[in-house]
């Protein structure tokens, strides 16, 4: 599955909060800090840019997928 090239940081953060159990903790500068307690504690920073770079998006999806024991494709399907 191809990664979307027009996804904003805010959209990604909203999707992770809505579908994957993350909550916004705070925003530090241009980064949104998300946290989850399921299945364990994890914090991730997402740049609040209008368009995320492909490498940045890929890295965030990889970290979330590993933490949730899912594939990147399963995470992407909720976009």
- DSSP code, position 65: H
- Phi, psi (deg, nearest 5) at residue 35: -140, 145
Which residues have a Cβ under 8 Å from the Cβ of 16 and sit 6 or more positions away? 22, 34, 46, 64
Annotated domain spans of the chain? 21-76
**Would you call the peptide bond into 39 cis, given omega within 30 degrees of 0 as the criterion?**
yes
Orientation angle between helical segments 54-68 and 9-20, nearest 10 degrees? 10
Task: Quick: pLDDT tens for 15-47.
Answer: 999 999 999 999 999 999 999 999 999 999 999
Q: State residue 6's pLDDT score.
A: 94
Query: Is the pLDDT score of 1 beyond 90?
Result: no
Task: State percent of the chain over pLDDT 70.
Answer: 100
């Amino acid at each position: 599955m191809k990664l979307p090239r027009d996804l904003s940081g805010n959209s990604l953060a909203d999707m992770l909060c809505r579908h994957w159990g993350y909550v916004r903790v705070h925003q530090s500068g241009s980064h949104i800090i998300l946290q989850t307690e399921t299945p364990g504690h994890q914090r991730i920073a997402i740049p609040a840019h209008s368009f995320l770079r492909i490498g940045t998006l890929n890295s965030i999806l990889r970290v979330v997928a590993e933490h949730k024991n899912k594939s990147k494709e399963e995470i992407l399907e909720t976009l």
